[in-house]
Amino acid sequence: MHDDTEEALAREAKRLFRRYTLEVVEGLNMCPWAETARRRSQVSESVDLAAEPTIEAGAAWARRLGEDRAVEIGFRICPRVRATRAEFVAHVQAIRDAYAREPGRGGVLMAMVAFHPEPEPAPSNPLAIINLIRRCPDPAIQAIRLSTLEELRQRDNTGKRFLPMSAALALPLDAPVRRPLHEVVAEANEQTVARLGVERMVAIVEAIRRDREVTYRALGVEP
């Protein structure tokens, strides 16, 4: 693939992910803090064009984010990855493990969670709804600073009002919480579904998916 196509693919992958962020994460008010972070330039986006990204590259990315104090949230977008949701989740877990073994200066500073375009079967329970919301255009890794997660929890006694639902699943299992984490996530999602309806969320995600297909085919990339 020519360099200009590579550059165009990276550019379009970022555009599609930003559309997802604006229309789903911010547009559906899934994370009230997301817009603030974006406007403050505290969000980092990068694109990995490898068809099979390495664990080492992912761990190195997490270390770089952790050492850059200007970054609160990072996204690593992987437009050529064809792994299933389960395979990509396992890949991200392997990156977390590698990062935990060699976190760099300051220790483990970032939590990570997988995003994937593949739908979750039967999105009828609150935890499955999280995976519906995380149907971004391309497989991606979200990294969020652990100190930011703690700050978000401190803003509300219940721990749910300002806690990004995707970030909730990125928390370490032993993270201190005022309530069991699954209860916080479930309640927040039940309220979101009651307010908006699954159909509306699915329609937005599907429109972005169609945009991706048309865009990538025009670049000669199999969507």
Query: pLDDT tens, 172-184?
Result: 434 444 554 445 5
Report CA torsion sign: 105, 177, 129, 127.
Answer: positive
Q: What is the dihedral of CA 125, 31, 22, 63, to 10 degrees?
A: -100
pLDDT in tens, 113-164: 898 998 765 555 555 666 666 689 999 999 989 888 777 666 554 444 334 4
DSSP secondary structure code for residue 171 in this structure:
S
pLDDT band, residue 171 (cuts 50/70/90)? very low
C-alpha–C-alpha distance, residues 178 and 11, integer Å:
41
Model-wide pTM > 0.75: yes
Choice among 53-62, 83-92, 179-188, 195-204 with the minimum mean pLDDT: 179-188
